[in-house]
A and B are shown apart, each in its own frame.
Chain A
Amino acid sequence: MSKTEAAARLAVRKTYKLYIGGAFPRSESGRSYPVTSSKGEFLANASKASRKDARDAVSAARKAFGGWSGATAYNRGQILYRIAEMLEGRRAQFVAELAEAGTKKAGDVVDAAIDRLVWYAGWSDKITSVAGAANPVAGPYFNISSPEPTGVVAVIAPDEPLLGLVSVIAPVIVTGNTCVVVASERAPLPSITLAEVLATSDLPGGVVNVLTGSVKEIAPWLAAHMDVNAVDLTGVADEDLAITCEQAAAENLKRVLRPAAADWYADPGLKRMTAFLETKTVWHPTGV
């Protein structure tokens, strides 16, 4: 926003806050950090989340888990599709934000993000059929295995402000998990704008919680949090930090996803969904 524009009419800037439990609070720490465009121009002050914000976000995610995992798959699919609709409606805003963050072909990226949401939305009521099984055991028993959400997933989002972000959130929540996402540290603003989309898409508060700030500072707290069931370390670029997080995750045997570098335009496959699914097998005798 240059001064000449401001001279015509002073723009009303957005305050970028965190997204926790369906609300947009500032960091409890009162901290923020300046976010600049790829050209180095000041864009906004983003909230710099603290470990206590991370803790609050985990609480919110846990609180939302029962309802979200208990919702019908059809309902979750509808909501993911609704997110895609809302995103489509804000297409121009995201293109502009991504462009400022230095994303090339921002229009294509937004389109791919919308399409990804639609793709995952359709999985909600299909993944159980694909990942489950009817097991022919050698005895008079009905035996069936079905995938169930792991619980609260901490996601360190990749430095791909929209497509990467959507690509790590959607597979986690479509199956009924809730999550705490640490946004790209370099370009956090689209993640908060995405949170605004989420907030207006019938997604229950707390299903997705978005933190902005220092990955190095927050990730180890989430990896060590005993009420977090899984961590996605996709966005942890620093090898030492990743190992620290993996070791911390061992304390309560979190499921850890640490994939090789991804091409965000490629077919995602099932991996990102199945990584955060448990298989539950139910037995029952068959008799009269």
Chain B
Amino acid sequence: MTSSLADVASSNATLRAFLHGLPGVDRVGADQRAATLGTRSIKTTAKAAAIDLAIRMVDLTTLEGADTPGKVRAMCAKAVHPDPGDPSVPKVAAVCVYPDLVAQAVESLGDSGVKVASVATAFPSGRSSLDVKVADTALAVAAGAAEIDMVIDRGAFLAGDYLKVFEEITAIKAACGEAHLKVILETGELATYDNVRRASWLAMMAGGDFIKTSTGKVQPAATPSVTLIMLEAVRDFLAATGRKVGVKPAGGIRTTKDAIKMLVLVNETAGEDWLHPDWFRLGASTLLNDLLMQRQKMATGRYAGSDYFTLD
């Protein structure tokens, strides 16, 4: 953070002045830009490359109350070899689980290179004390999570208590140690695009390594529009501070088409520097199979059937 921005977090008033001084976002215009980029036609070689890139960006996710070690083991196997019949398929970026299943994931993935991410901080609502959130984070980190997906306190944000949100993020960041911190804004609860932009800046200023759209538990989740706004935010933040932050849309990205639209958004907003799993992730549970089916269609020329892809 540059020194000029360092002072911003000294009080709620300075934070408010800064965040409300960011340029507004016109909803209709932003929706239109996202929709127009959605009409990009990505075919043949471009599509093949995009599919592989998308697979490499997937945070394969299971965040259910019914998750079990067995389920996580199976998912990890899929993460490393998404298509057992085709070794040319790249592995995904990470798996994303609840803190108590991190150890299982770490064990299952071994030295595959697939990272383990864990949600934390009283996910998904974030409604607990800071102590509990820090402990939650510490638990996941201790179990070997390389990435922590925290949620912000939307209540505090909407109440205008930006300092509280800021301080929580810095506290969690400290608790992360070496682990990368993804900050979930839960855009579906922020109500306006102006708020999405403000929350993005708040999360980045507080030290988030990634900003993430959603928990997947709230609708709407990772819409092209909010992803666009967050990509603009990381672009502008880099220009303002020299620090590069990643973006992770999560929730509702189910088809190859959805995923490719996201890549187009990255390409034409933040730019191709972000087109790497280090800087852009796709949080998804069912997307991977569609990517695999499309990939096979590209290779064989015939449409794929779902029976030929594993359900893990």
Binding site for B on A (CB under 8 A): 139-141, 285-288
* Beta-carbon nearest neighbor of A141 in chain B: B28
- B28/A140 in contact, CB under 8 A: yes
Residue of A whose beta carbon sits closest to that of B195: A288
Within 8 A of A (CB), among B25-50: 26-29, 31
Q: How far is the CA of A285 from the CA of B31 in the complex (A)?
A: 11
New A-B contacts (4) at CB < 8 Å, excluding given A285-B27, A285-B28, A288-B192: A139-B28, A285-B29, A286-B28, A287-B26
A109 to B192, CA, bound (A): 64
Is the beta-carbon distance between B28 and A288 smaller than 8 angstroms? no
- Chain B residues with CB under 8 Å of A286's CB are 28
> What DSSP secondary structure best describes chain A's contact surface?
loop
Interface residues of B in 1-57 (CB under 8 A from A): 26-29, 31
Query: Which residues on B are within 8 Å of A, measured CB to CB?
Result: 26-29, 31, 191-192
Do most interface residues of chain B lie in helix, strand or loop, or is the interface mixed? Answer: helix
State A240–B231 Cα separation when bound (angstroms). Answer: 67
Q: How far is the CB of B20 from chain A (nearest CB, A)?
A: 16
Judging by beta carbons under 8 Å apart, are A288 and B191 in contact?
yes
Enumerate 15 A-B pairs (CB-CB under 8 Å) in ascending A order: A139-B28, A140-B28, A141-B28, A285-B26, A285-B27, A285-B28, A285-B29, A286-B28, A287-B26, A287-B27, A287-B28, A287-B31, A288-B27, A288-B191, A288-B192
- How many angstroms from the CA of A158 to the CA of B267 in the assembled complex? 68
Chain B residue with Cβ nearest A288? B192
Residues in chain A near residue B27, CB distance under 8 A: 285, 287-288
CB neighbours (8 Å) of A139 from chain B are 28
**Residues of A contacting B31 in the complex (Cβ-Cβ under 8 angstroms):** 287
Min CB–CB distance B229 → chain A (angstroms): 13
Instruction: Name A287's closest neighbour in chain B (CB-CB).
Output: B27
Q: State in angstroms the CA–CA spacing of A286 and B31 once bound together.
A: 12
Closest chain-B Cβ to A137's Cβ sits at a distance in Å of: 12
> In the complex, which of the residues A141, A285, A286 has the most CB atoms of chain B within 10 Å of its own CB atom?
A285
Q: How far is the CA of A140 from the CA of B225 in the complex (A)?
A: 15
Minimum-distance CB pairs A-B, first 7: A287-B27, A285-B28, A287-B28, A140-B28, A288-B192, A285-B26, A288-B27
